[in-house]
Amino acid sequence: MRGFRTVRTIFVALVVLNFGLPAIAQVSFENAEWQSMSNRYVKIDLGVRGTVKVDNSQWGIAGRWAVSTTEGDPETTQDNNRPLVYFAGICPAHYFGYWKIRVGNNVYMVGDSNTGYWSKVPYTYRTPPPGYGVGRAGGYIEGEWTVNATDASGQTTASVSMRIKMSIVRDQCRFDITLINRAAATQTIGLCMTGDVMVGDSNLGVGYAYIPGRGYVRTAVVSPKPYPQILKGAKIPDVFEVYDSVENPASVARNTLRLQDCVAPDYVALGEWSELVGANNWPPTDYNPDFLKEVGNLAWVICWNPTSVPRGGFRRIITYYGVGAASAAWNYRIGSKLEQDSVVLAVQGPRSLKYNSVTGTNELDGQPFAIKAYVYNLATDPGRYDLDDVTLTLYLPAGLKLSTSRRQSAQQTIGRVPVDSESLPATWDVEATGEYSGELEYFVTARAASGWQQIVSRKIMVPATKRSVFRSGYQLMHVPFTFNNPAIEHVFGLPRGSFGAKYYDSATGQYLPVTQVEPGRAFWMYVGGVQRGRTLPFVLAEDAAIVAQQMGKQLDEVDVDLKPGWNLIGNPFVYPVYWGQVLVWNKVGNITVSLDQAVTNGWISRTLFTWVPESSSYESFKDNDHLLLPWRGYWVRARYPVTLVFRPEVPPGSDVTANPDGT
């Protein structure tokens, strides 16, 4: 559907089924027109003119945008035909998928006819004619909105054009925005983009934002609802995703902020939509959320701060919003310049494996699991964009292997991929060995006879199991399980004299023999007979149980006391934990604060050190988004006697199931 230009009132029964609007919602349109395009995965819309009325609320359509799914994630039907931002079912009519331009100290809503107009009315270019080379990455919607504001005396206060180009990159909407200074003098120009998140069945859009470095923790006393968040500068992640359910995600929306050809924003906020929206507010200065108050209707705002743009100059901003199902690449580099590819390589697989010591022989569910790779040819231009003899190759890290359940090869051929089409996926059945845990990264490469090539990496979260490996030489390790008998000989089943284990005593500054293992406490371990560069698999004693369990779930917090000076610590849970998720308790003042605040207070050092056996060297890190792996030990320095409070991380698609006693 290209446009819609009439006045009518309808009762939207179909929309009720697809988008969760109240059954009594009455929707009417007046002179409504919008531009749309879609593919197998998503549909995108840009409002041109007119209004929509839902019950007693009315909004203008001009300048509003929408992204919704058609099929969405091809691995599930649960997210089919769902909006990813709230809108009135069949057009981008809601107030909360929109842009604002800041010029100097003034803020202007794109689509507000009081201060601007369409200098180029939006139009959908589906299949541009050959010879122009503009269809190599597919069709697009393009328009230009010009702000031409004057004061009471008639003097021009702002003259800026915003060129809007929306296109579909497989399952993402690519927003390519160019802000042009039309004034006679230099102006400072910034951009704000708002989306009222819509995932799941509720039209209120409650979702769970998963941000690297902050992640998601759930304990018996913490509400599962989201809380406001503000991110600035270096704390802004490459991507963030919003899930309808973290443990069992079916509908996932993704903002891509730094990857590919994105222009990173200066400010990101997630919070209650009623506090983030408004025609004249500028969230970096006008948003002061109550961080203790749960969010009932989640919205996001991303802002690019005003910068100086000379007369006739411009600034270009690119960002993406769409389905969060696949990891993909659609750009390539020529020298220092990044160019948009005419082909997307997309890879899908589970986000996490589940831990289950009740039914799993090695405590991992979902074995084998499938990794799928898709090649999507975006081009509509009939130039030489067909791909022939496409082959894909899977590269697995230690801890993952091709399943022996069927004959398969790491390299697969999918043949020809014509323009404006997608291949059937190459599929590999993969197993986790259970001997390596953490965020394991694998790669898929694609090549065609023409010379085209692309590479995509994807990560899967693998929990620790009751098995791992000893390495040659000393290794800095930690055991993320608890035992009825914690004697180290019992834990590993090793006879005395066949190994050496020492911990660091902060009080005396000496290394002392380890007699018992303890969750949260790391130590140096040496096992004789392991050749250099080799490993020796082991299985823990049968009484090994998950830490901090309630009725077979890992829900409780774990305290690890630190003494002034250097301390050896470990993550006590089966899943990795972000360093930034750890809290710090000062027992003297009886106050618990975030890691950032504890560092600011001077209680502990932010930097951790860990030993890397493969390189026989230390690795240090201090970023909140660094993952503490379950089997690895870490050095941390405290300036005061404080306690680290570890909370169990819940990666997307994860779960911990054990017997009621944790075994």
Q: Contact, 389 vs 449, CB < 8 A?
A: yes
Q: State residue 4's pLDDT score.
A: 40
Rounded to 5°, angle at Cα 219 from 641 and 476: 50
Q: Which residue has the tokens 């996490």?
A: 352
The CATH topology of domain 96-323 is Beta-galactosidase; Chain A, domain 5 (2.70.98)
Q: Which residues contact 596 (CB under 8 A, 6 or more apart)?
A: 580, 624
Q: 428: which 2 tokens?
A: 């590999």
**In 3-state terms, what secondary structure has residue 365?**
coil
Higher pLDDT, 338 or 362: 338
Q: Contact, 534 vs 472, CB < 8 A?
A: yes
Higher pLDDT, 584 or 218: 584
Taking the alpha carbons of 210, 216, 220, 226 in that order, is the dihedral positive or negative? Answer: negative
Q: 556: which 2 tokens?
A: 């409780």
Closest CA to 359 of 541, 552, 503, 575: 552
Q: List pLDDT tens digits, range 364-411.
A: 755 789 999 999 999 988 778 889 999 999 999 999 999 988 889 999
**In 3-state terms, what secondary structure has residue 581?**
helix
Q: List pLDDT tens digits, range 306-328.
A: 999 999 999 999 999 999 999 99
Distance separating alpha carbons of residues 280 and 277, to the nearest angstrom: 9
The yes-or-no verdict on residue 582 having pLDDT over 60 is yes
User: How remote is the C-alpha of 459 from its chain's centroid?
Assistant: 11
By CB neighbour count within 10 A (0-12 exposed, 13-18 middle, 19+ buried), where does 539 fall? middle
Helix or strand run (H / E) with residue 19: helix 13-19
Q: Which residues contact 210 (CB under 8 A, 6 or more apart)?
A: 216, 240, 241, 242, 243, 246, 652
Q: Contact, 606 vs 592, CB < 8 A?
A: no
Higher pLDDT, 99 or 86: 99
What is the rounded (10 degree) CA torsion for 254, 259, 261, 262? 60
Q: What are phi and psi of 284, to 5 degrees?
A: -55, -25
DSSP classification of residue 233: G
Closest CA to 345 of 238, 264, 403, 417: 417
Distance separating alpha carbons of residues 416 and 414, to the nearest angstrom: 7
Average pLDDT of the residues of the chain: 88
Closest CA to 480 of 462, 460, 494, 504: 462
How many separate helices (H) and strands (E) can be counted in the chain? Answer: 5, 49
Average pLDDT over residues 215-221: 76
Q: State residue 95's pLDDT score.
A: 45
Helix or strand run (H / E) with residue 13: helix 13-19
Distance separating alpha carbons of residues 4 and 30, to the nearest angstrom: 9
**Amino acid letter, 212:** P
Q: State residue 97's pLDDT score.
A: 83
Q: Contact, 546 vs 496, CB < 8 A?
A: no
Average pLDDT over residues 593-603: 96
Q: Give the largest Cα separation in the chain, rounded.
A: 92
Q: 332: which 2 tokens?
A: 């390539």
User: Can you give the pTM of this predicted structure?
Assistant: 0.91
Distance separating alpha carbons of residues 565 and 584, to the nearest angstrom: 16
Average pLDDT over residues 422-431: 94
The yes-or-no verdict on residue 427 having pLDDT over 90 is yes
By CB neighbour count within 10 A (0-12 exposed, 13-18 middle, 19+ buried), where does 237 fall? buried
Q: Which residues pair with 165 in a beta bridge?
A: 142, 176
The yes-or-no verdict on residue 88 having pLDDT over 60 is no
Q: Which residues contact 313 (CB under 8 A, 6 or more apart)?
A: 180, 181
CB atoms within 10 A of CB 186: 12
The residues of the chain that CATH labels 2.60.40.10 are 327-462
Q: Where are the alpha helices (DSSP H) in 395-471?
A: none
Reported as a pLDDT band with limits 50, 70 and 90, residue 3 is very low
The yes-or-no verdict on residue 200 having pLDDT over 90 is no
**In 3-state terms, what secondary structure has residue 598?**
helix
CB atoms within 10 A of CB 440: 18
Distance separating alpha carbons of residues 98 and 95, to the nearest angstrom: 7
The CATH topology of domain 327-462 is Immunoglobulin-like (2.60.40)
Q: 29: which 2 tokens?
A: 């349109």
